[in-house]
Amino acid sequence: MSVLRFIFLFWFTFLVSANCGAAEKPAPDIVFVIVDDLNDWLGCLGGHPDAKSPNVDALAASGMLFSQAYCNSPQCRPSRTSLMTGVYPFKTGTYFNAKFPNETRVATPTLQQFFMENGYRVASGGKVFHGTPGKHGDSLFRKPGDPKPPKGKDKFNALQAPNDGYPLDVPDEEMSDYKVAQWATEQWNKVTNKPLLMTVGFFRPHRPLQVPKPWFQQFPLASIRRPAEPEGMDDWDDMPEFARRLARTHAHKPLHNGLSDHEYMVAHDEWDATIRAYQASIAFVDRQIGRFIDSLKKNPRGRETYVMLVSDHGWHLGEKKHWCKGAIWEQTTHIPFIIRGPGIKPGSRCTQPVSLIDVYPSLVDLAGLSVPDWLDGETVRLQLSNPLVPRGPAISSYGAGNTSVRTEHWRYIRYEDGSEELYDHRVDPDEWTNLASRPEHSETKRRLAEKIPTKQHPGLKVQNWLDIHQK
């Protein structure tokens, strides 16, 4: 009896100790980095052959790269609002950077609020929400200002074109993104008893495309390569009229004396210079991201660390004869989406579609917290273990009734006037050939159309804006 009692007590003590050990395992630190207006012109995504992004590429190599990641709205404010609240734009009517009175306010906690309510210290700096670090956190750091070019050289809001690039004769240390990286490093090195959620927003390559001169010098103007264009055809020939009107400009400004953005860029010989300025801005911000990521090598709180990096939306530089954002094609919606951390295989890649709506539930899940059922997105935890686990499509909205459905191989778009586009990315990654009218693809189109939300917030119709600015 005494032997049995001894055995019982031994195993009881062992199980209790094991359970206590598991319960006492410290919650991980979470680092969430969001970059403004960054498309897929990164080495790890292969969006441009001249990309210089060694630090983002190294981050991708240290964890999992989701190569088919997309925004849920192609403008800053709606994209970030959806990301930080976990609610789709088509539910709230938050479709554009401008705010409209009939939008539905999200009453549930933001990502920062949720983590604070669950015992985390929250540090938020730079551009996280639209123009701000957010309203909630133990440490908030607004985006600093940037130096200006000499008087008369500042193209921002002076030229009526997307190119406002200009090399600044200032050191990196004077730029806002350098200061954000410095602040983030200082916050990371603070020792507290609480686990840490950091939300760090870098501004470039957002306009104005102005960074210190050495970053421009890495991209000689004579060697600039433009995006590929279809041979022997006009990319607009098989596009519906609504899509053509959308491509002619973006929602920030009217046409330039009757010219579209693209026509203006070509007429004023600004295409190559704009690509150069955008690439220089990416290279610059990549360095600032690297400075901060380097500081994560040691954790002063002794906790495991997850790092996630995304962008709020993509960016066009002449693809489909479109510039900037404000469309729901591949180049406007495709974004980087990278996660590294304990248990994630370095150098792994997932081709299943994910989107920014999945950020909130994923970070909550990685923190070991219960994922709220009011979040629209879905955690990527299963894909982190097995990248072949299938997922549903990524849904992107641009105004009421303009919806893109992106699966692993297809993009289907239906506009508010009922017109459609369909692209097979296995053979047409640049979306040059619209298959929507071809009978042999009717079943594919029907299947994808079923994924479009039947109930959408009425919000503002893009057509109304087009009617005002495109006579």
Does residue 74 sit within a domain?
Answer: yes
Rounded (5°) CA angle 189-193-195: 70
Alpha-carbon Rg for the chain, nearest whole angstrom, is 23
Measured CA to CA, the distance from residue 360 to residue 82 in angstroms comes to: 10
Could you tell me the CATH number of the domain that includes residue 312? 3.40.720.10
* pLDDT of amino acid 469: 59
Does residue 310 sit within a domain?
Answer: yes
- pLDDT bucket at 355, cuts 50 / 70 / 90: very high
**In the predicted structure, residue 236 carries a pLDDT above the cut 90:** yes
| DSSP SS3 for 160 | coil
44 or 11, which is more confident: 44
What number is the average pLDDT over the span 375-396? 98
- Convert the pLDDT of each residue in 69-88 to its tens digit: 999 999 999 999 999 999 99
Q: How many CB atoms lie within 10 A of CB 376?
A: 18
What number is the average pLDDT over the span 283-307? 97
**In the predicted structure, residue 251 carries a pLDDT above the cut 70:** no
**Host H or E run for residue 16:** helix 2-23
> E-assigned strands of 329-470?
334-335, 337-340, 348-350, 354-355, 394-397, 403-406, 410-414, 420-424
Determine if the peptide bond prior to 212 is cis (ω within 30°). no
What are 226's two structure tokens?
A: 């433009």
What number is the average pLDDT over the span 21-32? 81
What number is the average pLDDT over the span 398-403? 95
- Convert the pLDDT of each residue in 320-343 to its tens digit: 999 999 999 999 999 999 999 999
What number is the average pLDDT over the span 444-467? 89
What number is the average pLDDT over the span 53-62? 98
Does residue 379 sit within a domain?
Answer: yes
Which of these ranges, 90-94, 290-294, 460-464, has the smallest mean pLDDT? 460-464
Domain range holding 147? 27-233+265-394
Does residue 406 sit within a domain?
Answer: no
Mean pLDDT over each residue of the chain, to the nearest integer: 91
Does residue 181 sit within a domain?
Answer: yes
What number is the average pLDDT over the span 29-43? 98
What number is the average pLDDT over the span 99-119? 94
Does residue 271 sit within a domain?
Answer: yes
| DSSP SS3 for 365 | helix
Q: How many domains does the chain have?
A: 1
What number is the average pLDDT over the span 174-178? 98
- pLDDT bucket at 468, cuts 50 / 70 / 90: low
Does residue 8 sit within a domain?
Answer: no
Does residue 423 sit within a domain?
Answer: no
**In the predicted structure, residue 212 carries a pLDDT above the cut 70:** yes
**In the predicted structure, residue 160 carries a pLDDT above the cut 50:** no
- pLDDT bucket at 462, cuts 50 / 70 / 90: confident
**In the predicted structure, residue 4 carries a pLDDT above the cut 70:** no
- Using left for φ > 0, alpha for ψ between -120 and 50, and beta otherwise, residue 347 falls in left
Measured CA to CA, the distance from residue 316 to residue 333 in angstroms comes to: 10
Written as one string, the DSSP assignment of 82-141 is HHHHT--HHHHT--SSS--TTPPPP-SPPHHHHHHHTT-EEEEEESSSSSSS-S--SEEE
**In the predicted structure, residue 23 carries a pLDDT above the cut 90:** no
